[in-house]
Amino acid sequence: MAYFVIDSNLQISKLNRDVEVLQFQLSSAKYEIDSLRDAIRMQGVGNASESLGLTLIYNQTRRSVVLISVTTALGRVQGSGFVYDLEGRIITNNHVVEEEGDITVTFIDGTIVPATRVGRDPYVDLAVIDVDVDDCLSPLNLGNSSELLVGEQVVAIGNPFGLADSMTTGIVSAVSRQMEAPGNYAIVDVIQTDAAINPGNSGGPLLNMRGEVVGMNTAILSETRQFSGIGFAIPSDTIRREVPSLIENGSYQHPYLGIIGMDITPAIAELMGLDEGTKGALVVEVVKGGPAEEAGLRGGTIERAVEGMQVKIGGDVIIGVDGRTVRSFYDLVVYLERYIKPGATVKLTLIRDKSVVELKLTLGVRPPP
């Protein structure tokens, strides 16, 4: 009798697995049927409606977008994410998963699985989590955010206010924006869009009209915390640059100069006795023990009131890096973030005491926030 009971349990377990497989296959077939139906409809109407192209993008990508929930001691945080690879890695915002708690991922077919944190970078609000599933994984392709044009149509997919699998559309309103990051640093190359982004969209993909990820929806500019026409996305070029390190090391190392700086304005140029048209990055303060101090960079020495605020002037003015013109502090930060790794040596061109000098500086690793 004991052998019979064991065999029956094995048979029941096998039948349960078979049922689960059939349920998944049925769910997959349903999505394929829906996609085919929409494709047939689009062929029937030809080019009568440009919006049907949006339907095609939605059908091609919606299975790749997930709902992420984090249960913490203070409640539940929800956001979005998208499948990065067939190993089960999912991209989202750091602020969605940074709090300690249990993470679950919900796929469009209703599958809910636990997830673990793989790597995080608070400095660009980027995180990678991992799920253990054999099916449900449909990675999205990363496009080139550097090729985006202002006015180009884009699509955002996510879970605003917990409303799963919502799509909005708009245009690229601007490129090369910057957002604040911890420690008074800046996130560079940020995409501005008027595609509606609301709480819950965070971590979801911003897609071009080829269905490629060109950004990750991250923040809005609003006085009411609701969408008012200005949304921001972390560029896909940043995601492509950082994710391999987040997967392998759990973190990403940013280059570190060790200065506090600002743009040279006409008022500052006048106070420092520089030509009226001088552009560059003013070194306001040099961080003690940092790469800039070791290289001999000089910070401001005299405090002056400039346009309603106190500014330390008299420091070095960086006007070039590795032969590239630096017209603002942002120019300097963008170059280092895009192209330079910690440990590399850069050549800075400076205005010091009204003379142009060159100085070599070996970059360090930005301290954790």
Residues with active-site annotation: 95, 125, 202
DSSP string for residues in 283-306: EEEE-TTSHHHHHT-----EEEEE
Nearest partner of 94 among 166, 174, 187, judged by Cα: 187
Task: Give the residue from 200, 197, 161, 157 showing the smallest Cα distance to 60.
Answer: 157
- Please give the helix or strand (H or E) that residue 17 lies within, else none: helix 2-45
**Nearest 5 degrees, angle CA 138-CA 213-CA 36?**
50
Cα 207 to Cα 64, 65, 167, 215, 284, distances in angstroms: 12, 12, 10, 7, 39
Q: What CA–CA distances, in Å, run from 158 to 15, 151, 168, 224, 363?
A: 35, 22, 9, 20, 38
Q: Packing angle between helix 51-61 and helix 2-45, nearest 10 degrees? A: 160
Please say whether the beta carbons of 358 and 347 come within 8 A.
Answer: yes
